[in-house]
Structure 1
Amino acid sequence: MRLLKWLSVFATLGMLLVLLGGALVTKTDSGMGCGNSWPLCHGEWIPSEIDVALIIELSHRLVSGGVGLLVLSLSVIAWVKVGHIREVKFLSFLAFFFLLTQGLIGAAAVKWGQSDFVLALHFGISLVSFAAVLLLMLIIFEIDRKFDAHSLLIRKPFRLQIYSLTTYTLIVVYTGALVRHTYSSMACLDWPLCRNASPFDFSLYGSAQWIQMGHRAAAAGVFIWTGFLMMKALKDYKNSPIMKKGWILAASLMVAQVLVGAFVIMTYVHLGLALLHALVISLFVGLLSYFLLLSSRSAKYERSVK
C-alpha cells in the first residue's frame, strides 16, 4: 500500500503540472513550437533549432507523457489492489481515459489544427482527469481509516446543489479557456465592467469583448453560489468539520480566483498571475470533486436504509 500511496501522490502532483503546462503553452502561444509535427519536434528527435516556444511545447509533451505513464500505472494497480472499493474502478478508467483524450486533442491540434471552441475543451478535459486522480489518492489514503456514512450524511437538497454547481463550474472553466484561445484576455481593459464606446459591437474585436464579459458574468455566478453554499453549510452542518472547513476553503479559493482574475487584467495578463489563475480553479474543481464523492456515498447510504 505504501507504493500505491506514493504513486497516487506523484500522479496527482503530476496532473497539476500537466494543467499548468497546458496553460503555459496557451498563454505564451507556444502550441506550434514544434511546428505541425507530433510527437517529434519539426520532424526531428533532437531539434536542431531551439527557441523558447519549442522548449515550452516540448517540455509540456514530455511531462504529459511521463505523467500519463504514472496515471496508467496508478489506474492499473489501484484496479487490481483496491478495486473492491466502490468508486475505484470507475475513477481509474476516468483518470486515464480523459488524460488520453486531452493528449489526442492536443496532437490533433498540432497536426491538423482545431477551432478555438474545440481547443477550449482541452483544459476542462484535463481537469476531469486531475479530479479523478485526486479522488483516487484520497480513497487510497482513506483505506486505513474507513469512511463511515453515518458520520456525514449530506442531505439530498444540498447534494443537488453540489451536482449543479460542479456542472456549472465546468461550463465556466470552458468559457475561461475560450477567453484564452480566442485571445480575448485584454478585450476589456477595465474591471469588473467593460466600459466601451460601442458595447454592442459585434465585429471581430467586439465579439472578444462579449466572450470576456460573458466569462466574467458566469464566474460571478460561481462566486455567489459558492458563498451561498458556504453559509448554508455553516448553518446546517455545524457538527461536521468536513463540511464547515471544506466550504470555507471553497469560498476562500473562489475569492482568490476572482482577485487573481482582476489582477490578470490590471497587469495586462502577467504570466505568473495567469498560471496562478489556472492553479486556483484546478484546486477548486478538485475540492468540488471531493464533495461529489461524499454526496455519492450519502446517496448510497440513504438508498440502503429505505
Structure 2
Amino acid sequence: MRLGLKFLSVVTSMAMLLILLGGALVTKTGSADGCGDSWPLCNGQLIPDPLTFETVVELSHRLVSGVSGFLVLALCVWAWISLGHIKEVRPLAFISFFFLVLQALIGAAAVMWGQSDAVLALHFGISLISFASVLLLTLIIFEVDQKLDATNIQLGSKMKKHIYGVILYTYAVVYTGALVRHKEASLACPDVPFCSNGNGWLPVDLNQWIQMGHRFAAVLTFVWILAAFIHAVKYYRHQKNIFYGWLTALILVIFQAVSGMLVVVTRLQLELALAHSLIISFLFGVLSYLTLLATRHTHN
C-alpha cells in the first residue's frame, strides 16, 4: 500500500508540472482562445473541428488539467487517510486540491468572460502553489520509511528569516514575470541587461517599466539567495538538507537568470521560454521544501 502511495505521489507531481508547462505553452503560443469562449467543451464540441494548432494546445492543457485533478484528489484522500497523523499532511492535502480547483476556475472564467492581465498573471502563481504542495506531500510520503530524513532540523532566527523572506519575495517576482507575459512586454526592452531605447537606459512606457521592474526584482532574488547560501556555508554545512537546499536554489536561480536573458536575446524562442517556466517551478519547489524544514526547526 505504501509503495502504491509513493507511485501515485510521483505521478501526480509530474502531472502538476505538466499543468504549469501547459499553461505557459498556452500563453506563449497565443492559444488561450484555441477553444473559443466555451468551457468545458471546446468550440462547443467534445472533439472540435477543425483541429488547429492553437486548439490542440488549449485542449491538451484542459485534458491534462482534468486528469491531474483526479490524481490530486486521489492523492489527497489517500494521504489524508494513511498519513493524517503527520501534522503537515492534512493542510498540504487541502491546499493542493483547493488551489488546483481555484486555478481551474480562474482559467474557465478567463475563457468564458475574459480577465484582466493582472488576474491572469495570478493563474501561474496559483498553479505554482498547488504544484509545490503536491511536491511537499510527495517528499513527506518518502520520509515515512526514513529514506529521506528531514525531521531533526536546527535553525537560528537569521536562517528562518532568509527562508521565509526569500520564498515570499520569489513568489512576488514570479507574479511580475507572469505579468510580463500577459502584458506582452517580454520584448519591450529587447536589449540585455538595460532598456536601451534611444533615450538612455530608463524605460519610457508602461511595458518597459514592467519588463525592467521584473529584471530588477530577479536580480535581487539572486542576491538574496546568494546571501542565504553564504550563511548556510558558514553555519549549516553539517545540516545537509539546509546546505544542499540553498546550493540547489542558487544553481537554479543562476539558470533562471541565464534562461531569461536568452529568451530576450533569441526573441522568445519557445523552448527557452518553457525552460524559463520550468526552472522557476523547480526553484519554488526547493524554497517550499526549505520552508517545510523551517517549520520543523528546534532552536540552536
With the shorter chain as reference, the TM-score category is: over 0.9
Report the CA distance between 1:200 and its aligned residue.
5.7
Report the CA distance between 1:249 and its aligned residue.
1.1
Report the CA distance between 1:152 and its aligned residue.
2.5
CA distance in 1, matches of 2:203, 2:18: 38
CA distance in 1, matches of 2:167, 2:268: 27
1:207 counterpart letter in structure 2:
L
Q: Is the 8 A contact 2:150 2:241 kept in 1?
A: no
Report the CA distance between 1:156 and its aligned residue.
1.9
Residue 221, structure 1, aligned to residue 212, structure 2? no
Report the CA distance between 1:244 and its aligned residue.
2.0
Correspondence for 1:156: 157
Correspondence for 2:85: 84
Moved more, 18-27 or 157-166: 157-166
Correspondence for 2:133: 132
CA distance in 2, matches of 1:148, 1:226: 21
Correspondence for 1:209: 208
Segments of 5+ residues of structure 1 without an aligned counterpart are none
Correspondence for 2:13: 12
Correspondence for 2:69: 68
1:29 counterpart letter in structure 2:
G
Residue 110, structure 1, aligned to residue 111, structure 2? yes
Q: Is the 8 A contact 2:226 2:250 kept in 1?
A: yes
Correspondence for 1:190: 191
Sequence identity (%)? 52
* TM-score, reference length from structure 1: 0.94
Report the CA distance between 1:30 and its aligned residue.
0.4
Q: Is the 8 A contact 2:117 2:182 kept in 1?
A: yes
Residue 254, structure 1, aligned to residue 253, structure 2? yes
Report the CA distance between 1:266 and its aligned residue.
0.5
Correspondence for 2:292: 293
Moved more, 7-16 or 155-164: 155-164
CA distance in 2, matches of 1:40, 1:177: 26
1:278 counterpart letter in structure 2:
S
CA distance in 2, matches of 1:273, 1:263: 7
1:39 is paired with a residue of what secondary structure? coil
1:194 counterpart letter in structure 2:
C
Correspondence for 1:235: 234
- Once the two structures are superposed, residues 3-51 of structure 1 have per-residue CA deviations (whole angstroms, 9 ceiling, x without a partner) of 1100100000000000000000000010010000000011011112110
CA distance in 1, matches of 2:190, 2:167: 29
Report the CA distance between 1:201 and its aligned residue.
6.1
The ranges of structure 1 where at least 4 consecutive aligned residues each deviate by more than 6 angstroms after the TM superposition are none
Residue 24, structure 1, aligned to residue 2, structure 2? no
Report the CA distance between 1:141 and its aligned residue.
0.3
1:194 is paired with a residue of what secondary structure? coil
Pairs within 5 Å for 1:168-183? 168-183=169-184
Q: Is the 8 A contact 1:41 1:58 kept in 2?
A: yes
Pairs within 5 Å for 1:87-102? 87-102=88-103
Correspondence for 1:275: 274
Report the CA distance between 1:140 and its aligned residue.
0.3
Report the CA distance between 1:197 and its aligned residue.
2.4
2:40 is paired with a residue of what secondary structure? coil
- Once the two structures are superposed, residues 250-303 of structure 1 have per-residue CA deviations (whole angstroms, 9 ceiling, x without a partner) of 1000100000000000000000000000000000000000000000001xx44x
1:120 is paired with a residue of what secondary structure? helix
2:47 counterpart letter in structure 1:
I
Correspondence for 1:57: 58
Report the CA distance between 1:147 and its aligned residue.
4.3
Q: Is the 8 A contact 2:187 2:267 kept in 1?
A: yes
Correspondence for 2:42: 41
1:86 is paired with a residue of what secondary structure? coil
CA distance in 2, matches of 1:248, 1:46: 47
CA distance in 2, matches of 1:195, 1:61: 40
113 and 4 in structure 1: CA distance in 2 versus 1, 3 angstrom threshold: same
Number of aligned residues:
297
